[in-house]
Structure 1
Amino acid sequence: MNLYFTPSVTKQLRNAAFILALCTVASCQPAETEQQEQAPEVTEAPAQTAAVAAEKRPAPEFFVIPENMLKKRVWICEDGVSDIFHVQHDCPVLIECRGKGTFRNLVLPRAIEDYGRYNCQVCSKDLDMIFDKDAVREMNR
């Protein structure tokens, strides 16, 4: 049994396929407008993040590093938001930086002077005395 389509049947099938294609395109149209309406909301989020980054604490004005800590190495996260240094490389706060910025390992004076960093309250709470103006310090002569 051989099936042969006449030109009129072929034309009807072609028209049906064309109508089906138009319906498919038309049904996809509202989804694109929903995405366009949501786009402004997405663009506002980076602006808010930039505002948070701009509100970073100013660099410490006062600090005293004991002589035995001048060569101490610390970790920082360069992500534009963080303003603390870490004594431990596996500090939970530092690990949160993974994927958001880069890690740097440098000496303590450079972290404070050049990068304006404060000590982490999780891994280096004992270094609070560096920034304490009222602390009593022993003078070496």
Structure 2
Amino acid sequence: MLRIRNLSAYYGSVRALSGVTMRVREGEIVTLIGANGAGKTTLLNAICGLVRQDGDLAFAGRSLAGLAPEEIVGLGISQVPEGRQLFAPMTVAENLELGAYRRYRRESRAAIGADLERVYQLFPRLQDRLAQQAGTMSG
């Protein structure tokens, strides 16, 4: 699904990543763990086209070389920044549905609903709080 070979990423002339190679298969869940400054966010930014990089990046068999960030989002790749990036006045349900906004044109509501059900299985308390304003949640 996602293939990265010999990826380097740069902030200006500074090389922040060098020689990263990894593969994520369809359905796999991957966690990046490391100390501050280890390159976790830089790797995600490189995958999303937000920093200059070289190497081989491919998603679902398609090269990401030269694609603008918005084109990469259109392929289904995005990231959720760390911290509480919620729309506080909106409900929990509205925040979750907003995450699928790019999919509504391509996929049925049933497919998106199935994905939301998976989220509820992973985080069962969310289902009890769908009508709650996101900004009132804690923890």
Same-fold call, TM cutoff 0.5: no
* Shorter-chain TM band: under 0.3
Q: Whose strand proportion is higher, 1 or 2?
A: 2
Report the structure number with the largest CA radius of gyration. Answer: 1
TM-score (norm 2): 0.23
Q: Whose helix proportion is higher, 1 or 2?
A: 1
